[in-house]
Amino acid sequence: MAAERNRVILGMGSHVPQKVLGNEELSKKVDTSHEWIQSRTGIIERRIAEEQESTSDLAYEAARKAINDAGVNIEQIDLVIVATITPDMSFPSTACLLQHRLGLKHVTCFDLEAACSGFLYSLDVADGMIASGRYNCALVIGAEKMSSIMDWEDRTTCVLFGDGAGAAIISSKGSGPSLLGFRCGADGSNPSLLHQPAGGSLKPASVQTIDKREHFLKMNGKEIFKSAVRVMEKAIRDLLADHKYKISDVDHVIPHQANVRIVESMAQRLEIPMEKFFCNLDRHGNTSAASIPLALDEAIRKNIFSEGDLVVLVAFGAGLTWSSTLVRF
């Protein structure tokens, strides 16, 4: 029987647009205030891409940094997965556009859509594909231009989101943080809790869908809040139980960066001190699939992890989807 192939994070990179949109400036566009946004979400500012900047542009910059950080040659990468709900276009995939721009050979490329859980779903898929022995080195990216689907007249949603990208190189060779396990799940029974009503085959673009502003993100914030806390707590508990760890064994948690109140509620229910949760949502807002890799890359750059640390990554998104990942540094 062949020995199990080790999967490690060889390198990471992230990128955000230059333009900063603070709460004060945003309050000039919609009926809100800096105090209202910060007190309810923890967000102070977010990055917004220029009109000509695309999701693939953000992904490209993050990918270049991850490749350099990992010290791999382009020729070594044989798999590209891009997690996004804001692709450059419906098809071809953003991964294919990125493959050409990076100068990769004819490698396997595809997009994965699981909203805010997308990056962790993609890690799980890449991990399994490498474990199969058919692939050796994956470029996994979470990238979003959320500003492109925001209704800038809806203060309940436009204050929450930002743009950005994060990338990781996952390999069966080399040294780095080890991917120990995953837990992914979904519940599609109530998709309208968080969705983009029009633009697909159910409601193709028309004068009516545009007039009704159905191409923008719609969200039931109260229900999403309750669901997020509940399912992320369970995803963490189940993942730890799978690998026979206790809550007290966890050294750090990188949560989806949606709302600081969600993180605080989850921490309370898990009885994990907030000091163990790494958050950067105050400067980025909710960047959907880019959220986890942006935060993880920043945490690594800040040297918050020590050798041997057990780290949990956890996310929740539209679908509804959820995912948790266990990493040993």
Q: What is the 3-state secondary structure (H, E, C) of 286-300?
A: ECHHHHHHHHHHHHH
Which of 109, 256, 259, 284 is labelled catalytic?
256
d(CA 92, CA 87) in angstroms, rounded, equals 9
Q: Judge if 123 and 253 occupy the same domain.
A: no
Give yes or no: residues 167 and 42 share one domain. Answer: yes
93 and 163 part of one domain? yes
**Assigned domain for 190 exists:** yes
Model confidence at 146: pLDDT above 90: yes
Which pLDDT value is given to residue 81? Answer: 98
Task: State which of 175, 191, 222 marks the end of a domain.
Answer: 175
Residues 143 and 271 in one domain: no
Q: Report yes or no on 3 lying in a domain.
A: no
Q: Quick one: which of 217, 212, 199 has its CA closest to 154? A: 217
Interval 222-241 mean pLDDT: 97
pLDDT band at 16 (very low <50, low <70, confident <90, very high): very high
139 and 202 co-located in one domain: no
Residues 150 and 200 in one domain: no
1 within domain boundaries: no
> Is residue 135 scored above 50 in pLDDT?
yes
Q: Is the pLDDT of residue 3 over 70?
A: no
pLDDT in the model for residue 62? 98
Phi-psi region of 111 (alpha: psi -120 to 50; beta: other; left: phi over 0): beta
Asked if residue 119 belongs to a domain, the reply is yes
Q: What percentage of the chain has pLDDT greater than the value 70?
A: 98
Residue 5: per-residue pLDDT: 59
E strands, the chain, are 8-15, 20-22, 45-47, 79-83, 108-112, 137-145, 163-171, 178-186, 194-195, 218-219, 252-255, 310-317, 321-328
| HSE of 327, CA atoms in CB hemisphere, 13 A | 25
Q: Are residues 71 and 55 in the same domain?
A: yes
1 pLDDT exceeds 60? no
Catalytic-residue membership of 116: yes
Tell me the per-residue pLDDT of 300-309, one tens digit each, with 9 for 90 and over. Answer: 999 999 999 9
Whether residue 154 is found in the same domain as residue 219: no
pLDDT of residue 231: 96
| Cα–Cα dist 96/66, whole Å | 18
Tell me which of 116, 137, 158, 279 is the catalytic residue.
Answer: 116
Per-residue pLDDT tens digits for 260-292 = 999 999 999 999 999 999 999 999 999 999 999
Domain assignment present for 2? no
Task: Identify whether 286 is a catalytic site residue.
Answer: yes
Could you tell me which of 169, 161, 265, 289 has the C-alpha nearest to residue 218?
161
| pLDDT value of position 183 | 97
Shared domain check, 238 and 90: no
**Residue 41, in any domain of the structure:** yes
Check whether 2 has a pLDDT greater than 80: no
* 89 φ/ψ angles, rounded to the nearest 5 degrees: -160, 165
| Domains of the chain: total | 2
Whole-number average pLDDT of the chain: 96
Query: Are 92 and 63 within 8 A, CB to CB?
Result: no
Closest by Cα among 271, 269, 149, 283 to 218: 149
The phi, psi pair for 153, rounded to 5°, reads -110, -5
Judged against a pLDDT cut of 90, whether residue 21 lies above it is answered with yes
Cα dihedral sign, 31-34-40-45: positive
What CATH number is associated with residue 302? 3.40.47.10
* 295 within a domain of the structure (yes/no): yes
The answer to whether residue 117 sits within a structural domain is: yes
Residues 152 and 213 in one domain: no
Percent share of the chain, pLDDT over 90: 98
Band of residue 318 on the pLDDT scale cut at 50, 70, 90: very high
Spatial separation of the C-alpha atoms in residues 288 and 194, rounded to whole Å: 12
Question: At residue 88, does pLDDT exceed 60?
Answer: yes
Which residues does 286 contact at the CB level (< 8 Å), separation at least 6? Answer: 116, 146, 160, 161, 162, 256, 257, 258, 259
pTM to 2 decimal places: 0.96
163 shares a domain with 53: yes
Taking 90 as the threshold, does the pLDDT of residue 4 lie above it? no
Name the residue among 143, 135, 65, 72 with its Cα closest to residue 111: 143
Angle between helices 55-70 and 94-102 (to 10 degrees): 50
Does one domain contain both 165 and 30?
Answer: yes
Among residues 175, 206, 236, which one ends one of the domains? 175
- Find the domain containing 240 and state its range: 180-328
Task: Using the 3D structure, point to which of 175, 197, 219 is the last residue of a domain.
Answer: 175
| Residue 96 designated active-site | no
Rounded to an integer, the average pLDDT of 49-64 is 98
pLDDT-based confidence at 33, cuts 50/70/90?
very high
Per-residue pLDDT for 6 more than 90?
no
